[in-house]
């Protein structure tokens, strides 16, 4: 398969596309639990992989995503009344339960059975780790709920945020697995941001700007190792986990909370950026929480009541040219998360990859594209089960550590790349 044909396959995620069918075999992080906090909460709009949906929680505390448009005359169910066991359209009162079945049709004669033939698309939902997950794939093939380490921790040990980004999910994901840009884009923030400062690894990141990459396939995705020069006889390794289809785990900094992302397509030109900080063995500190809520680290400051960022493409991400000129900030943009978003959005809604020139530091990106395409095409052509649906593929960790020169990073770090209560976090 030609590279550009592969890319075209990867970036299109709507219904009945190769990639769309593949991604729908996984549980999708769709909403923060706080958006539907209690039974009878107001419905919310959700758009995932070009499907316009409504999320609601009925009086029995059951959650579902259903299609936005009422099949009667097409009115939006966002304006519906959440009452009893379903959502009632405000136009003519047709009512739908969490399975999507029409259960009441007051505009029709009482003896009519018309409602039994009417239903809307509905996707089952479950709550885990402060997130409402939806399954949008074929009935009868629903996988177990994700067992990513952060999703199983107590609420005090994790913090999740979500923002909208104006770019295709793939170029956002590719930014997340690119360790070389940290030495440039984020270099002036490493000793300022609450979740990065005072980590010993920062000195290696700033000193060695041309890391050497080694990438190996794991059962659920990729291990991406970036090595930099360290003390005599040692390399400093930052090992990123890419877990199919859209999760990454960021190599940690000191004893700060660990980080991770998920990039979920809204449509082909927008994505949801999920950002998670967590620590497997302690609650997050007040200092860490304050930093996260201020928009520092991998998170971003949001316009109140929305998932839109305060700094955005329309205001040039509030770039501070004076700070950039005086070398206070490499980009002049505040916050690691917004720096990433600015670069990824500046490429365009869908990157024209016919113009790119990949170098040696891009091997992880090339392999991620191939891994995703291979899995999606194997599902289409051979009905092959997608990877990373099992707990063993998901219970993994990123790491940052020193290893002797000449030692394989995958072997040298093997024991610390597995998540577990008895496994120490490998971090510098």
In a domain, 423, yes or no: no
Calpha distance 11→222 (Å, rounded): 19
> Is 422 inside a domain boundary?
no
> Are the CB atoms for 4 and 353 separated by under 8 Å?
yes
Q: Classify residue 222: in a domain, yes or no.
A: yes
Q: Of 135, 164, 196, which closes a domain?
A: 135
Query: Are 212 and 308 in a shared domain?
Result: yes
94 with 180, same domain? no
Average pLDDT of span 29-40: 97
- Give the pLDDT score at 237: 98
Measured on CA atoms in the order 209, 213, 218, 222, is the torsion positive or negative?
A: positive
Whether 7 has a pLDDT exceeding 80, the answer reads yes
Structural domain total, the chain: 2
In this prediction, residues 386-415 reach a mean pLDDT of 97
Q: For the chain, what is the HEC assignment?
A: CCHHHHHHHHHCCCCCCHHHHHHCCCEEEEEEHHHCCCCCCCCEEEEECCEEEEEEECCCCCEEEEECECCCCCCEHHHCEEECCEEECCCCCCEECCCCEEEECCCCCCCCCHHHHCECCEEEEEEECCEEEEECCCCCCCCCCCCCHHHHCCHHHEEEEEEEECCCHHHHHHHHCCCHHHHCCCCCCCCCCCCCCCCCHHHHHHHCCCCEEEEEECCCEEEEEEEEECCCCEEEEEEEEEECCCEEEECCCCCCCEEEEEEEEEECCEEEEEEEEECCCCCCCHHHHHHHHCCCCCCCCECCCCCCECCCHHHHHHCCHHHHHCCCCCCCCCCHHHHHHHHHHHCCCCCCHHHCCCCHHHHHHHHHHHHHHHHHHHHHHHCCCCCCCCHHHHCECCEEEEEECCCCHHHHCHHHHECCCCCCCCCC
Q: What angle do CA 309, 312, 315 make, to 5 degrees?
A: 130
Three-state DSSP class for residue 76: strand
CATH number at residue 163: 3.90.380.10
DSSP sequence for 247-298: EEEEPP-TTSPEEEEEEEEEETTEEEEEEEEE-SSSPPPHHHHHHHHTT-TT
pLDDT of residue 126: 98
Q: Please state whether the peptide bond connecting residue 245 to the residue before it is cis, i.e. omega within 30 degrees of 0.
A: yes
Tell me the percentage of the chain whose pLDDT exceeds 90: 96
- For residues 327 and 254, membership in a common domain is answered with yes
**CA dist list (Å): 242 to 248, 256, 402:** 5, 21, 21
Q: pLDDT (tens digit, 9 = 90+) per residue, 143-197? A: 999 999 999 999 999 999 999 999 999 999 999 999 899 999 999 989 988 889 9
Q: Are 156 and 199 contained in the same domain?
A: yes
Does residue 82 sit in the same domain as residue 196? no
Q: What is the pLDDT of residues 212-271, one digit of tens each?
A: 999 999 999 999 999 999 999 999 999 999 999 999 999 999 999 999 999 999 999 999
d(CA 19, CA 11): 8
| Residues 228, 289 share a domain | yes
Q: Tell me: do 292 and 394 sit in the same domain.
A: yes
Q: Using pLDDT thresholds of 50, 70 and 90, give the confidence band for residue 2.
A: confident
Residue 202: inside a domain: yes
E strand or H helix at 370: helix 363-382
pLDDT at 366: 96
Residues 176 and 114 in one domain: no
Confidence of residue 103 (pLDDT cuts 50, 70, 90): very high
- Note the Cα 34 to chain centre separation in Å: 17
* Residue range 303-341, pLDDT digits in tens: 999 999 999 999 999 999 999 999 999 999 999 999 999
Q: What is the chain's mean pLDDT, rounded? A: 96
Rounded Cα distance, 235 and 229, in Å? 5
pLDDT surpasses 70 at 1: no
Q: Does residue 87 share a domain with residue 170?
A: no
- Residue-wise pLDDT tens digits, 348-387: 999 999 999 999 999 999 999 999 999 999 999 999 999 9
3 confidence band (pLDDT: 50, 70, 90):
confident
SS3 call for 74: coil
In a domain, 14, yes or no: no
- Looking at the fold, whether 240 and 343 belong to one and the same domain comes out as yes
pLDDT surpasses 70 at 74: yes
Q: Provide the residue range defining the domain that includes 117.
A: 27-135
Does a structural domain hold residue 190?
yes
The answer as to whether 307 is a domain residue is yes
Of 135, 167, 191, the domain-final residue = 135
Residue 359: how many CA atoms within 13 Å on its side-chain side?
A: 7
Q: How many CA atoms lie within 13 A of 33 on its CB side?
A: 13
Residues 244 and 379 sit within 8 Å (Cβ to Cβ)? no
| Whether residue 124 is found in the same domain as residue 154 | no
Backbone CA torsion sign across 32, 35, 38, 44: negative
Among candidate residues 75, 104, 135, the one where a domain is terminated: 135
Q: What is the CATH number of the domain that holds 53?
A: 2.102.10.10
The DSSP element (H or E) to which 235 belongs, if any, is: strand 234-243
Contact between residue 200 and residue 194 where contact means Cβ atoms under 8 Å apart: no
- Residue 141 inside a domain? The answer is no
| Phi and psi torsions of 160, nearest 5° | -115, 140
| Residues 48 and 96 grouped into a single domain | yes
């Amino acid at each position: 398969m030609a590279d550009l044909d592969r890319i075209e396959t990867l970036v299109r995620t709507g219904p009945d596309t190769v990639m769309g069918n593949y991604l729908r075999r996984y549980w999708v992080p769709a909403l923060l639990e706080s958006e539907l906090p209690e039974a009878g909460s107001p419905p919310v709009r959700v758009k995932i992989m070009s499907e316009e949906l409504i999320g609601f929680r009925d009086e029995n505390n059951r959650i579902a995503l259903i299609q936005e448009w009422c099949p009667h005359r097409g009115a939006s169910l966002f304006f519906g009344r959440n009452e009893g066991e379903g959502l009632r359209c405000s136009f003519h009162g047709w009512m739908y339960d969490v399975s999507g079945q029409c259960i009441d049709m007051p505009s029709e004669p009482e003896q009519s059975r018309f409602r039994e033939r009417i239903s809307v698309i509905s996707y089952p939902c479950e709550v885990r780790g402060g997130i409402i997950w939806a399954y949008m794939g074929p009935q009868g093939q629903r996988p177990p709920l994700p067992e990513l380490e952060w999703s199983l921790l107590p609420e005090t040990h994790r913090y999740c945020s979500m923002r909208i980004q104006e770019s295709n999910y793939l170029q956002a994901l590719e930014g997340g697995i690119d360790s070389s840009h940290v030495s440039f884009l984020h270099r002036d923030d490493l000793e300022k941001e609450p979740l990065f400062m005072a980590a010993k690894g920062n000195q290696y990141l700033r000193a060695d700007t041309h890391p050497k990459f080694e990438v190996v396939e794991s059962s659920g995705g990729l291990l991406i190792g970036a090595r930099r020069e360290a003390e005599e006889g040692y390399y400093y390794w930052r090992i990123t986990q890419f877990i199919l289809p859209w999760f990454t785990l960021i190599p940690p900094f000191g004893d700060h909370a660990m980080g991770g992302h998920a990039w979920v397509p809204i449509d082909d030109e927008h994505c949801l950026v999920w950002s998670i900080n967590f620590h497997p063995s302690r609650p997050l500190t007040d200092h860490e929480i304050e930093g996260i809520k201020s928009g520092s680290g991998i998170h971003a400051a949001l316009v109140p009541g929305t998932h839109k960022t305060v700094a955005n493409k329309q205001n040039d991400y509030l770039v501070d040219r004076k700070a950039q000129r005086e070398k206070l900030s490499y980009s002049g943009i505040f916050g690691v998360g917004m720096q990433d978003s600015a670069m990824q959005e500046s490429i365009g809604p869908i990157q024209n990859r016919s113009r790119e020139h990949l170098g040696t530091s891009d091997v992880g990106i090339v392999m991620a594209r191939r891994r995703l395409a291979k899995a999606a095409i194997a599902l289409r052509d051979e009905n092959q089960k997608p990877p990373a649906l099992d707990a063993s593929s998901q219970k993994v960790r990123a790491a940052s550590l020193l290893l002797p020169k000449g030692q394989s990073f995958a072997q040298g770090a093997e024991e610390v790349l597995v998540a577990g209560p008895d496994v120490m976090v490998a971090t510098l």
